[in-house]
A and B are shown apart, each in its own frame.
Chain A
């Protein structure tokens, strides 16, 4: 199947700082990418839909000023957690639909964020 790559896989940052997570579609182009957050032993919670060349669409309750999303190209979306706090510590996962396979949705490997 198609490959979606996330970087970094693990990151530790100090409270108050910002951290950027990248999501890349390696062998296909994606005008849309999705960002999820997952707490331990829970399902995936959609945070926002990233749209290439336009603003992201955020789910209700997700602070757009805290979770900045940029989809600058057809293969890259970034999630920046600004002014991070310990409660932002979580597993963040992105996904993207591959139009070459009928928009089958593939996920990245996920990024563990720990805010200390």
Chain B
């Protein structure tokens, strides 16, 4: 089955700096890669996703890049703010009929220092 590795496990950045979180996946059939932000005591919130037919996607301060050949994808957050502090999870999955079943990375705890 799919295996998703996520690095780093913790990341501290100064407010205004950029943060980059990287994930690798093992199953070349995977074609859907979402990123979730989880605040303490809450469910994961989708922040951006990318499908295998594109190499990059951007939404304001957040961007995701995908390298299918190398089987890795990355989350980029620019101009970080204290409210970006949370645990971020990457996931990979294969879209079959009706749904995707996701395999999650172990998470990255991002701390943005004011």
Q: Give A residues with C-beta under 8 Å from B.
A: 1, 6, 31-32, 34, 42-44, 46, 49, 91, 93, 95, 97, 99, 102-110, 112
Chain A binding surface, main DSSP class: strand
Closest to B49 in A: A104
User: What is the interface residue range for chain B against chain A?
Assistant: 20 to 34
Task: Tell which of B41, B99, B105 touches A112, judged by Cβ atoms closer than 8 Å.
Answer: B41
> What are 18 A-B contacts defined by CB distance under 8 Å?
A31-B99, A34-B101, A42-B107, A43-B104, A44-B89, A44-B104, A46-B102, A95-B44, A103-B95, A104-B49, A105-B34, A105-B99, A105-B100, A106-B46, A107-B36, A107-B43, A110-B42, A112-B41
Chain B binding surface, main DSSP class: strand
Total contacts A to B, CB within 8 angstroms? 57
Task: Tell which of B51, B89, B98, B101 touches A43, judged by Cβ atoms closer than 8 Å.
Answer: B89
A102 to chain B: which residues have CB within 8 Å?
Answer: 51
Alpha-carbon distance A102/B53, docked complex (angstroms): 13
Q: Give B residues with C-beta under 8 Å from A.
A: 32, 34, 36, 41-46, 49, 51, 89, 93, 95, 98-102, 104-107
Alpha-carbon distance A103/B93, docked complex (angstroms): 11
Whether A107 contacts B104 by the Cβ 8 Å rule is: no
Closest to B106 in A: A43
B106 to chain A: which residues have CB within 8 Å?
Answer: 42-43
A42 to chain B, nearest CB (A): 8
Alpha-carbon distance A105/B93, docked complex (angstroms): 11
Alpha-carbon distance A14/B104, docked complex (angstroms): 32
Alpha-carbon distance A109/B41, docked complex (angstroms): 9
Whether A97 contacts B98 by the Cβ 8 Å rule is: yes
Closest to A30 in B: B99
A105 to chain B, nearest CB (A): 6
